[in-house]
Amino acid sequence: MTTENIRTYDVIVIGAGPVGENVADRTTAAGLSTVIVESELVGGECSYWACEPSKALLRPVLLRADAVQVPGLDPAVKGPLDAEAVLAHRNRMSADWKDDGQVEWVKSAGIDLLRGHGRLAGEREVSVETPDGDTVRLRARHAVAVCTGSRAALPPLPGIENLRSWTSREATSAQQLPQRLVIVGAGVVGVEMATAWQALGSRVTLLARESGLMPRMEPFAGELVTERLREAGADVRFNVSVVGAERVDGGEGEVRVTLSDGGEIVADEILFATGRAPRSEDIGLDTVGLKPGDWLATDDSLTVTAVPGNWLYGVGDVNRRALFTHQGKYQARIAGSVIAGRARGEQLDVGRWAPHSSTADLEAVPGVVFTDPEVATVGLTVREAERTGRAVEVVDYEIGHLAGAVQYRPDYRGRARILIDRDRQVVVGATFVGPGVGELLYSATVAITGEVPVERLWHAVPAFPTISEVWLRLLETRRDS
């Protein structure tokens, strides 16, 4: 082990997922020397075991679901999906789990890459254990940004370690189709993976411990997705959880799952889609007075305020503000400018919607669930408005009534809901459920972040016949109610 190898940079970034890459890009662009430390693949969870592979699995599924309903096109797409071809496409979209392309980008951006496991080692210091067993010590003049992301959280089920269960990693990278797949947890990962694997040919059982799918969203989102999943042949069960599971034949055979309602399910694979935990248990948090394994709490400038000196930042999944790639990248752009501003000795501008404040994390986090139908959400839900004591008007519209929706897919089923702040008369929340609504979401995001007065929205004319006409119908519904 060599420890004399000390390198000094302006900024050290731990974790080269989408968020770490963007922090490093911004600080380098601001003229600060930056090193990024990565223990696995440059590109992070999103590129290899999350967004990219899952959407590569889902795109053929959703396109086919639309196409079989379009007259004239239906005979051409009636047969089953070619699962092997879809998996091969997914492999390509995950760059075959090689990061050469992203390493090339890091170099071209002028960022230094150090492969190895990074750990904080006191103020502004990071110790990196490299793959060949060396230890490299890094010192930061200005900032250390922790961007180590999250991993699947498993429930405390006795014997779970002997189950060879799937997490989101296996569910997005499996090379073979399980005949029977049981999915525990009906959040976003659970429903997307149920949609993908059922359509590829597995028999999926989806177990929700709540009374609906995706319980944090408007209830109609889960209801519409449940309808379609059941039509596709999936067994969707509510108010049930797993109390035991074991692999038979000395751990080599099928999985037998015992349910809280006394039932039993037999499957080839079991996926736990039961939420996320921060990757912070072994990153030296104790050396700066923080508790290993905790989420990294920050203020709106992404600074870890529990550590004095404004040098430590927590960006992306690891801070739990909003577990999405796009939102983490937004935080990264802000953290980058905060770090650069502080390095130049500038006064930060941290007011609401100001350049150094990630206000959108609190008011307008967009998300699209790529199921049939798609679910697109931004801002508040009714339950969240009630919980936080916000007075809102709620306006609903059945998207299937629109000419544009029927053109899109004759059997169109979907619903839109907007929430309008009663005092300020601006939109503060939107949920669209229906085929193709993902591309509609940015309009709502702009309405919320721009605080566009509802009266002005009458002048934002949606083209005919598009699904965007839902905005006009929502305004008319409100006027006529």
Ligand X SMILES: NC(=O)c1ccc[n+]([C@@H]2O[C@H](COP(=O)([O-])OP(=O)(O)OC[C@H]3O[C@@H](n4cnc5c(N)ncnc54)[C@H](O)[C@@H]3O)[C@@H](O)[C@H]2O)c1
Ligand Y SMILES: Cc1cc2nc3c(=O)[nH]c(=O)nc-3n(C[C@H](O)[C@H](O)[C@H](O)COP(=O)(O)OP(=O)(O)OC[C@H]3O[C@@H](n4cnc5c(N)ncnc54)[C@H](O)[C@@H]3O)c2cc1C
* Interface with ligand X (CB under 6 A): 155, 184-190, 192, 209-210, 215, 241, 273-276, 323-324, 367-370
DSSP 303: B
Q: Is residue 62 involved in binding ligand Y (CB under 6 A)? A: no
In sign, the C-alpha dihedral spanning 61, 66, 69, 70 is negative
Q: Is residue 336 involved in binding ligand Y (CB under 6 A)? A: no
- In the set 9, 10, 11, 38, which binds ligand Y (CB under 6 A)? 38
* Smallest distance, ligand Y to C-beta of residue 131, A: 11
* Smallest distance, ligand X to C-beta of residue 202, A: 18
| Window 184-223: contact mask with ligand Y (x via CB under 6 A) | -----x----------------------------------
Displacement of CA 270 from its chain's centroid (Å): 21
Q: Is residue 438 involved in binding ligand Y (CB under 6 A)? A: no
Taking the CA atoms of residue 245, residue 251, residue 254 and residue 257 in that order, the dihedral angle to the nearest 10 degrees is: 0
Q: Is residue 14 involved in binding ligand Y (CB under 6 A)? A: yes
In sign, the C-alpha dihedral spanning 321, 323, 326, 332 is positive
- Residue 182 vs residues 81, 205, 242, 255, 328: alpha-carbon distances, Å: 21, 5, 11, 9, 30
Contact stretch for ligand Y (CB under 6 A) within 23-31, 50-58, 220-228, 294-302 = 50-58
Q: Is residue 94 involved in binding ligand Y (CB under 6 A)? A: no
**CA–CA dist 33, 159 (Å, integer):** 47
Rank residues 275 and 341 by Cβ distance to ligand X and give the closer one.
275
* Smallest distance, ligand X to C-beta of residue 322, A: 7
Contact stretch for ligand Y (CB under 6 A) within 45-53, 134-142, 235-243, 301-309 = 45-53
- In the set 33, 102, 168, 357, which binds ligand Y (CB under 6 A)? 168
* Bridging pattern class, strands 150-152 and 112-115: unpaired
| Window 265-284: contact mask with ligand Y (x via CB under 6 A) | --------------x---x-
Listed as own residue / partner, the contacts of 72-79 with beta carbons closer than 8 Å and 24 or more positions apart are none
Q: Is residue 366 involved in binding ligand Y (CB under 6 A)? A: no
Binding-site partner at residue 155 among ligand Y, ligand X, none, CB < 5 to 8 Å by type: ligand X
Query: Is 110 labelled as part of a ligand binding site?
Result: no
* Closest of 306, 298, 241, 228 to residue 270, by C-alpha: 241
Contact stretch for ligand Y (CB under 6 A) within 42-50, 261-269, 334-342, 436-444 = 42-50
Rank residues 189 and 416 by Cβ distance to ligand Y and give the closer one.
189
* Closest of 277, 344, 295 to residue 45, by C-alpha: 277
Rank residues 189 and 376 by Cβ distance to ligand Y and give the closer one.
189
* Smallest distance, ligand X to C-beta of residue 242, A: 6
**CA–CA dist 429, 10 (Å, integer):** 40
- In the set 316, 404, 429, 438, which binds ligand Y (CB under 6 A)? 316
Binding-site partner at residue 46 among ligand Y, ligand X, none, CB < 5 to 8 Å by type: ligand Y
Binding-site partner at residue 279 among ligand Y, ligand X, none, CB < 5 to 8 Å by type: ligand Y
Query: Is 438 labelled as part of a ligand binding site?
Result: no
Binding-site partner at residue 186 among ligand X, ligand Y, none, CB < 5 to 8 Å by type: ligand X
Rank residues 53 and 404 by Cβ distance to ligand X and give the closer one.
53
Q: In one letter, which amino acid is 214?
A: M
* Phi and psi angles of residue 211, each rounded to the nearest 5 degrees, phi first: -90, 10
* Closest of 434, 446, 304 to residue 370, by C-alpha: 434
Counting Cα atoms < 13 Å in the Cβ hemisphere of 356 gives: 16
Instruction: List Cβ neighbours of 439 (8 Å cut-off, separation of 6 or more).
Output: none
**CA–CA dist 17, 146 (Å, integer):** 11
Token readout for 321 is 């503000």
Instruction: List Cβ neighbours of 2 (8 Å cut-off, separation of 6 or more).
Output: 134, 135
- In the set 59, 64, 117, 209, which binds ligand Y (CB under 6 A)? 117
Query: Is 258 labelled as part of a ligand binding site?
Result: no
* Closest of 216, 176, 212, 221 to residue 371, by C-alpha: 221
Token readout for 63 is 């396109």
Query: Is 145 labelled as part of a ligand binding site?
Result: no
Rank residues 59 and 180 by Cβ distance to ligand Y and give the closer one.
59
**CA–CA dist 4, 159 (Å, integer):** 44
Rank residues 189 and 285 by Cβ distance to ligand X and give the closer one.
189
Chain residues in the site for ligand Y (CB under 6 A): 14-20, 37-40, 44-46, 50-51, 54-55, 117-118, 147-150, 168, 172, 189, 279, 283, 316-317, 323-326, 328
* Binding site as annotated, residues for NAD(+): 185-192, 275
Q: Which residues are annotated as a binding site?
A: 55, 118, 148-150, 185-192, 275, 317
